[in-house]
């Protein structure tokens, strides 16, 4: 992602950010509903087994370690 930044001269300069922010605990956004909505699609696409609703709920709050 590239965002314009203003310098003291009044000219714009482009700043390129080479980073990604991951928010796995829901501090910035509650992405869990989206995550569970794409599980079946990803299982088919990457040849994983599907996870049933009971297993999905057990993933909520699971440690990333």
Could you tell me the residue ranges of all domains in the chain?
Answer: 23-65
Contact call for residues 59 and 24 (beta carbons, < 8 A): no
CA–CA distance, 47 with 53 (Å, rounded to integer): 19
CA-based nearest residue to 36, from 13, 54, 19: 54
Residue ranges, the chain, pLDDT below 70: 1-11, 24, 64
- Token pair, residue 49, equals 């087994």
């Amino acid at each position: 992602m590239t965002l314009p930044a203003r310098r003291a001269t009044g000219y714009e300069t482009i700043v390129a950010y080479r980073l990604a922010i991951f928010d796995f605990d829901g501090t910035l956004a509650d992405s869990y509903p989206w995550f569970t909505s794409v599980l079946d699609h990803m299982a088919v696409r990457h040849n994983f087994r599907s996870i049933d609703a009971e297993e999905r709920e057990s993933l909520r709050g699971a440690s990333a370690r």
